[in-house]
Structure 1
Amino acid sequence: MLLSLVLHTYSMRYLLPSVLLLGSAPTYLLAWTLWRVLSALLPARLYQRVDDRLYCVYQNMVLFFFENYTGVQILLYGDLPKNKENVIYLANHQSTVDWIVADMLAARQDALGHVRYVLKDGLKWLPLYGFYFAQHGGIYVKRSAKFDDKEMRSKLQSYVNAGTPMYLVIFPEGTRYNATYTKLLSASQAFAAQRGLAVLKHVLTPRIKATHVAFDSMKSHLDAIYDVTVVYEGNEKGSGKYSNPPSMTEFLCKQCPTLHIHFDRIDRSEVPEEQEHMKKWLHERFEIKDKLLIEFYDSPDPERRNKFPGKSVHSRLSVKKTLPSVLILGSLTAVMLMTESGRKLYMGTWLYGTLLGCLWFVIKA
């Protein structure tokens, strides 16, 4: 009985975050829509500045739950710049939590509002979120042969022309690495071997297209590339090996007590511009990631295992920075739901906001 109660309580840890994060989405979209209408005749830079601030409010609520609520210990290796920069953020991709890790680093530079993502095309159909991410600067791309760089170049160039601050997040592997997906891993390794590239063990062979288009379109606007390698510690099995990284639900249920983040800043001038040279450079960066991960997981020296090389810093995000967002969005949502007209507006936003967002993508296509 006691064990059942403990397991039930444990499994419900994600309920409060889920209710508030999803439940406040209509509230946020209504606030953004109001600002979008009011700013129609104002300078675009003013609209973007306030939109970035609104985005900070929502994402700080996300970070409250994924950092403060979970109590995850974040160990940061490398010197994360304190100042805001225009960057392309490249990282290994294992979990849906990887998107939140980018927020974690950006928040530590006061650049949370500048985070924009290169996303899989199918994610644009997400209710409310899919539409809004596109409005905030997200770029949806199709894979492989269907990848069309024209729209991506056009959108990025418009941001450069407008002087929009950019913290552009790209996962070059294109899909999440999962050690149990043996066919995917074998295909990725075979692809590398056929082209004379190093075969990678703990990451997939990176794809160059989105990274090259982003760099080529934004090079005059960029300060650096952020090369980030992430390990979710705390999911060891009895054999000493790691199971798959946690999903968002598992992370919120505290199945990852420690997060290791290896950070490397690469100046824009050190990145080759020609696509074939950049392809080689990007693969070399993933070779470095792979070596870091092999040493982390498999080093024969116990002193070097379960950590990245170099000194780590235990990085904490103050609850004073994140809790106000929870209170603001939570209170506004609660007030809306207290009245019949508010509930109708809330449900209408979910329904018609989703339908209009999908229609927008259909017309745009």
Structure 2
Amino acid sequence: MLLSLVLHMYSMCCVLPAAVLLGTAPTYVLAWGAWRLLSAFLPSRFYQAVDDRLYCIYQSMVLFFFENCTGVQILLYGDLPKNKENIIYLANHQSTVDWIVADMLAIRQNALGHVRYVLKDGLKWLPLYGCYFSQMYLVIFPEGTRYNPELTKVISASQTFAAQEGLPVLKHVLTPRIKATHVAFDSMKNYLDAIYDVTVAFEGTVDDKGQRKEAPSMAEFLCKECPKIHIHIDRIDKKDVPEEQVYMKRWLHERFEIKDKLLIEFYDSLDPERRNKFPGESVNSKLSLKKTLPSFLILSGLTAGMLMTEAGRKLYVKTWIYGTLIGCLWVSIKA
């Protein structure tokens, strides 16, 4: 009986957040759609300001579950973000939690409403979200897919490609691809302040034999199976980034060589004092509940209110159905 209760409580750690995050999606889409119509004849800066605020409210609710409720410790190293900037965020990719880590940094710079992601092509078909998330804090994972130590064929293919190209072979990251980074930088260079080269390590992802394990999934993360996230940041001024693709390709690989060295020390160091940490001093960055709880209360309250009436429930269902269809149609047109 006690075991059943424990298992039930464990499952609720991820079921409840998932239900709230998905359940409030129509509320968010309705609010955004209403503002889109109301602002149609206003200068675009007015639309953008409110759009950013709405997006910030939703993403803050996401962080309420993924940071405040899980109690995870965020340890920051390197060039700690201070001022709000227009950036491209380049990071190693190992988990479905990675996009939330980008949010964790953005909220600490008061830039959460400006975050957008370069997504895998298939993710643009996500109901309600896909056409919106892929729309200036641009997040790119140059590896193209997640690093999973259990997928040995993917790692081997990446290392073989690097060797064939005459590039150093990497151990804890995959060989980066240049296309998305180059296109993003070339399109945004007149507005950019910097590139943030971010290296992320999830503590507790090494087994008893010292072998690296798969990074936590969203469900595992919400079930508090990741005690700490270590985030190393290198701020690179845009003038220090080569603009031509052939030179940027070499530059990007060199950045991933640096990531690899950081991760080798984090995971493989024989010195217990250096293992499970990045070089230099770390800052334990705790997120105030005031940053996230109001968003949770606003969105969940509005959703509950809508579901309490028959007309509200009909509108809710229609938003899911027609919002998804319109989003897919929009993505098809853009493709």
TM-score range, shorter chain: over 0.9
SS of the equivalent of 1:239 reads coil
Q: CA deviation at 1:199?
A: 0.1
The residue type equivalent to 1:98 in the other structure is D
Q: What is the RMSD of the two structures over their aligned residues, measured on CA atoms?
A: 1.1
CA distance in 2, matches of 1:286, 1:44: 38
> For the Cα contact (< 8 Å) 2:206–2:267, is it kept in 1?
no
Match of 1:254 among 197, 220, 224: 224
The residue type equivalent to 1:244 in the other structure is E
Match in the other structure for 1:42: 42
CA distance in 2, matches of 1:242, 1:191: 22
CA distance in 2, matches of 1:364, 1:278: 28
CA distance in 2, matches of 1:115, 1:286: 23
Match in the other structure for 1:188: 158
The residue type equivalent to 1:55 in the other structure is Y
Match in the other structure for 1:28: 28
CA distance in 2, matches of 1:34, 1:276: 45
Q: TM-score, normalised by structure 2?
A: 0.98
Q: CA deviation at 1:7?
A: 2.5
Structure 2 gaps, min length 5 = none
Q: Deviations over 1:31-69 (max 9, x none)?
A: 000000000001111111110010000000001100000
1:3 and 2:12 are equivalent in the alignment: no
Moved more, 353-362 or 340-349: 353-362
The residue type equivalent to 2:7 in the other structure is L
Q: Give percent identity, aligned residues only.
A: 78
Task: Map residues 58-137 of structure 1 onto 2, 5 A cutoff.
Answer: 58-134=58-134, 137=135
CA distance in 1, matches of 2:171, 2:212: 14
Task: Map residues 204-283 of structure 1 onto 2, 5 A cutoff.
Answer: 204-283=174-253
CA distance in 2, matches of 1:118, 1:330: 28
CA distance in 2, matches of 1:364, 1:191: 32
Q: TM-score, normalised by structure 1?
A: 0.90
CA distance in 1, matches of 2:332, 2:200: 36
Match of 2:300 among 330, 345, 357: 330
Match in the other structure for 1:177: 147
CA distance in 2, matches of 1:247, 1:35: 34
Which 4+ stretches in 1 moved above 3 angstroms?
none
The residue type equivalent to 1:133 in the other structure is F
SS of the equivalent of 2:106 reads helix
> For the Cα contact (< 8 Å) 1:235–1:255, is it kept in 2?
no
The residue type equivalent to 1:238 in the other structure is D
Structure 1 gaps, min length 5 = 138-165
CA distance in 1, matches of 2:304, 2:241: 49
CA distance in 1, matches of 2:212, 2:2: 29
